[in-house]
Structure 1
Amino acid sequence: MMSDEWTESGQDDQSALVPKDATQHQESARASFASSVFNIMHAIMGSGILGLAYAMSSTGIIGFSLLLLFVAVTAAYSVHLLLVLCEQTALTTYEDLGFCAFKTTGKVMVAGAILIQNIGAMSSYLFVIKSELPAAIAGFLHNSYNGTPWYLNGQILLLITVIFVVLPLALLPKIEFLGYTSGLSILFMVYFTIVVVVKKWFVPCPLFNGTVNYFQSAYAIPTMAFSFLCHTSVLPIYCELKRPSKSRMQKAVNIGMILSFSIYMLSALFGYLTFYANVNSQLLHSYSQYLPRDPVIMSVRICILFSVLLTVPLIHFPARKSLMLLFCSRCPFSWLCHILVTLVIQTVIVLLAIYVPNIQNIFGVVGSTTSTALLFIYPGLFYLQISRESLKSSRKLKALGLIILGILIGSVSLLVIIITWLHNEN
């Protein structure tokens, strides 16, 4: 995967190149501290924000707040372990740390997890397009229809969008210009949160149901893990930081986590207080039911759709990179292989977006498997294997705790999610 001097980086911007050697590292660094914080927030925040209010309705305000804080703190600490390993080994990608720890097996573990994680993320984005684009179009039309015309059919609109927008962008060998739109994503998330807070006072309060559904609570931590995963982007961001140091990068991560936590918490809290137990697993659906033609909600929907539309091709690049690493890492670049892999990935995510009935299922399954692995298990496992500290050292004990915690959270959550599916079918 790595050339003699450089290696590709990044989950969101594949055009960036990071140095393999630590001395080259400082020469190429050019990103300011504020820019690094911004990039971390962009790596963290995504479609997960739409499912957090539903998670709060399942766990209650206090339970959700404690769980979200716990996941945020744990995510920041697992990033800390990766940064320590980066400093010790001078490696700059998650896959290379996996190779350093367990050779080819470790690299395959990380590449496979990143592939599944990114497929889940892209599927959740396409799910948003499928569900929100028809509502956005209908909001501008004032006619009543018998049946559903093709331009209000979510599946048809999804296919048109993927074929004519997402696929051409994903087929490009480089997608540098889309990196400049990443700033809009954060602005859209902030705007979304402001609207959620304001609209709390304009939506008729539905009948409150104070009960907590413990089956649905199983989706809470996986959704949070899905929402806070930025680990595949942290090392490339670190490599681009001016005056790079572990403490400086950790400070950027902490600030990014705190700001993301604040945005997540506000949107979840006021989304829940607006609809209580009636909140949908995709928050914008709830607003569609109560404020179907509200111009502010329509503007939010357009902003989210625009953000999602340009994010899918960006996430596609590391997914394709991981897939090619798994199956054709020794092959030189080939347009045929490039196109075939792109088509395979696009087909998979479209099928998932069409046939998965609820975005909550994507958050739950991906969050309880690859998100917990990349956020909890792998950082702790790689630290135990690579670091030369004593096994009784504080960091290694905490790393072991991360591994145990990740296994417990992932296995229990996935088990309860499967039981929930079986329960719902019955």
Structure 2
Amino acid sequence: MPNVVASLYHDLTSETTNPPAWALDGRNWISFFMLILVPLCFLRHLNSLRHTSYIALFSVAYLVVIVIWCYHWPLEGMTKPGEVRLIHFTPDFVSTFPVQVFAFTCAQNLFPIYNELKRNSQKRMNIVIVGSIGTAAMTYEVIAIFGYLTFGSKVGPNIIAMYPSTSLFVAVGQLAIVVLVLFSYPLQVHPCRNCLDKVFHPGHVAVPPSKSKVVDEVARVGAVEEEEDDTSSRSSGSGSEETEEIVPEPEGDEHGHHGEMSAVKHFLLTAGIIVAGFTVAYLVDDLQMVLSFVGATGSTTISFILPGLFYWKLTRDDFTRKSLNLSAFFLMIYGICVCVFCLSFNIYQIIQYKGTAHLEEAL
């Protein structure tokens, strides 16, 4: 936001003075955007965030246009391209690999999406998965290839920051990144809140409000039908024969619970997530390091370790799926290796960075 403000301030005004000091402090903008984020984070359904998601997708499309345009028609003041190599491994690859894993981590929203589909079949869910992962992969590839071909070995970790912010065309793109990150945050609060609910109350199954009424109605109709069947069977039997009455079990999970999360719990969990997220955003400057740690731990667990573990345990006695079962086991082992190796490398980088900083300070 400070770069966006500085660029728009000089492009849209005739003044030669600098923008106000408060507008050049990123933490002020973080505090301001919380006013927009808080109401969105308290929404109960992913469907309620569809309009903000449309805006975020438009922002992604605009970024793709910038990268392709600047490759074919470079802007004035752009960095001269460095050497372009087909394959080149460096130690930085280890720290950036978890970021790539994090980029495809969207499994945490699968169940809410499935519950909110009007016709939630496996076929439709496959279309959602292939469409979302495929679109993301295509977007990443286009930006990565054209961005690297534009700057070569001089490319930075944030591709949009490589373009001169004096251009209004690029400044709007930087604003698009702000919008993209802003509207992505509520999409992560939703599964985080549900997971915390399961941690604190593992026996409770929260049914979406749109489905809870249907569940209650199905339970009521089922109880009435079983009662009618029981009545008819007793009337058709002999008078002297006693028939044991069958009491229908209540619908719901194995603990007999169903229904949506209470308002108090919903408020407390959401408020806790927002406060924790705001604190991290306000205090941490190096976003790449944060993503490296998140990718090495949470993303590898969600994407590799848990899917492999679950499938392996569920099908290990099914000899017809032996090859898939073995593949799932190796996926779990691969995820554990990635988690341990990348996490250790990130810790090593922090220790090395602090050691270098102390040495420079001493000199």
TM over 0.5, yes or no?
A: yes
State yes or no: 1:420 paired with 2:296: no
Contact 1:219 1:363 in 2 (8 A): no
Residue identity matched to 2:2? P
Residue identity matched to 1:424? Y
The structure with the largest alpha-carbon Rg is 2
**Equivalent residue runs for 1:140-151 within 5 Å:** 140-142=8-10, 143=15, 149-151=21-23
Using the TM superposition, give the Cα deviation of residue 192 of structure 1 relative to its aligned residue in structure 2, in angstroms: 0.9
**Equivalent residue runs for 1:27-426 within 5 Å:** 133-142=1-10, 143=15, 149-162=21-34, 164-173=35-44, 176-200=47-71, 201-203=73-75, 204-206=78-80, 208=82, 214-238=90-114, 240=117, 242=119, 244-245=121-122, 249-250=125-126, 252-287=128-163, 291-328=164-201, 335-387=263-315, 388-390=317-319, 393-426=322-355
Question: In structure 2, what is the Cα distance between the partners aligned to 1:149 and 1:259?
Answer: 40
Question: In structure 2, what is the Cα distance between the partners aligned to 1:374 and 1:174?
Answer: 22
CA, structure 1 residues 243+161, in 2 after alignment: closer, same or farther (shift >3 Å)?
closer
Q: Secondary structure at the match of 1:353?
A: helix
Using the TM superposition, give the Cα deviation of residue 337 of structure 1 relative to its aligned residue in structure 2, in angstroms: 4.1
Residue identity matched to 1:189? V
CA, structure 1 residues 232+174, in 2 after alignment: closer, same or farther (shift >3 Å)?
closer
CA, structure 1 residues 323+136, in 2 after alignment: closer, same or farther (shift >3 Å)?
same
Residue identity matched to 2:303? L
> What per-residue deviation string (whole Å, max 9, x for no partner) do you get for residues 205-224 of structure 1?
43626796733111232111
Query: Superposition RMSD on alpha carbons, in Å?
Result: 2.9
Q: Secondary structure at the match of 1:396?
A: helix
CA, structure 1 residues 252+306, in 2 after alignment: closer, same or farther (shift >3 Å)?
closer
Residue identity matched to 1:292? S
> What per-residue deviation string (whole Å, max 9, x for no partner) do you get for residues 354-412 of structure 1?
32222211221111111111111111100111124239711001101101111111111
> What per-residue deviation string (whole Å, max 9, x for no partner) do you get for residues 297-327 of structure 1?
1222222322332332232222122223222
Contact 1:215 1:417 in 2 (8 A): no
Using the TM superposition, give the Cα deviation of residue 255 of structure 1 relative to its aligned residue in structure 2, in angstroms: 4.4
Using the TM superposition, give the Cα deviation of residue 178 of structure 1 relative to its aligned residue in structure 2, in angstroms: 2.4
Is there any run of 5+ residues in structure 1 with no aligned partner, and where?
A: 1-132
Aligned length, in residue pairs: 289
Question: In structure 1, what is the Cα distance between the partners aligned to 2:39 and 2:309?
Answer: 39
Percent identity (aligned): 26
Contact 2:193 2:270 in 1 (8 A): yes
Contact 2:101 2:300 in 1 (8 A): yes
1:90 alignment partner in structure 2: none
> What per-residue deviation string (whole Å, max 9, x for no partner) do you get for residues 186-209 of structure 1?
232122112111112314343626
Is there any run of 5+ residues in structure 2 with no aligned partner, and where?
A: 205-259, 356-363
Higher relative contact order (CA 8 A, sep 6+): 1
CA, structure 1 residues 170+194, in 2 after alignment: closer, same or farther (shift >3 Å)?
same
CA, structure 1 residues 302+147, in 2 after alignment: closer, same or farther (shift >3 Å)?
closer
Question: In structure 2, what is the Cα distance between the partners aligned to 1:281 and 1:352?
Answer: 20
Question: In structure 2, what is the Cα distance between the partners aligned to 1:276 and 1:167?
Answer: 40
> What per-residue deviation string (whole Å, max 9, x for no partner) do you get for residues 29-64 of structure 1?
xxxxxxxxxxxxxxxxxxxxxxxxxxxxxxxxxxxx
CA, structure 1 residues 372+241, in 2 after alignment: closer, same or farther (shift >3 Å)?
farther
Question: In structure 2, what is the Cα distance between the partners aligned to 1:238 and 1:339?
Answer: 24
Residue identity matched to 1:386? L
